[in-house]
Amino acid sequence: MQILIVLGAIMACLGVALGAFGAHALKDKFPEPRYAAIWETAVQYHMYHAIGLIGLGILSSEALLGNSSMLSWAGYLMFAGIIFFSGSLYVLAVTGVKKLGAITPIGGLLFMIAWVLVVFSVIA
């Protein structure tokens, strides 16, 4: 699906920009030093799943795997996972509001469900 490739490319571009922003503009602005590591984790997972979106788009458009609707769902869940997981960590890192940490596992769960759907699309 082309939309997954486009979303993946946009997310990858945004991931690079946010990584650079965190390393340079926010370098001395985090509420505590440990928040820089939280920002880095957000960027890492952001980028991993941006690349995953591109891969899913290629696989579903080429029909290399079985169920393309399952791959589409995996892609949309992966995109939502970036928003919930990385997004909550980005905001946590710059604000220090620890309650946002409760949102992060939702994104992690969305990532895991997305990857399970990829597995099911292969073996189904």
| Predicted TM-score (pTM) of this structure | 0.92
Task: With CA atoms as reference, report the closest residue to 47 among 77, 92, 17, 4.
Answer: 17
DSSP-derived secondary structure for 3-37: HHHHHHHHHHHHHHHHHHHHHHTSTTTSSSTHHHH
More confident residue, 80 or 98: 80
Summary mean pLDDT of the chain: 92
Q: What share of the chain in percent tops pLDDT 90?
A: 76
* Higher per-residue pLDDT: 57 or 18: 18
pLDDT tens-place string over residues 64-90: 665 578 899 999 999 999 999 999 999
Domains of the chain, by residue range, sit at 2-123
Could you tell me the CA-to-CA distances from 16 to 3, 28, 64 in Å, in that order? 20, 19, 29
d(CA 6, CA 89): 24
The torsion defined by the Cα of 9, 46, 117 and 62, in degrees rounded to 10, comes to 20
Residues 6 or more apart whose Cβ sits within 8 Å of residue 79: 7, 11, 49, 53
Q: How confident is the model at residue 94 (pLDDT cuts 50, 70, 90)?
A: very high
pLDDT score of 1 more than 90? no
For 41, the token pair is: 């984790």
Structure tokens, 19: 């990584």
Tens-place pLDDT, residues 3-34? 999 999 999 999 999 999 999 999 888 988 89
Instruction: Indicate the Cα dihedral angle 38, 41, 47, 48, nearest 10°.
Output: -150
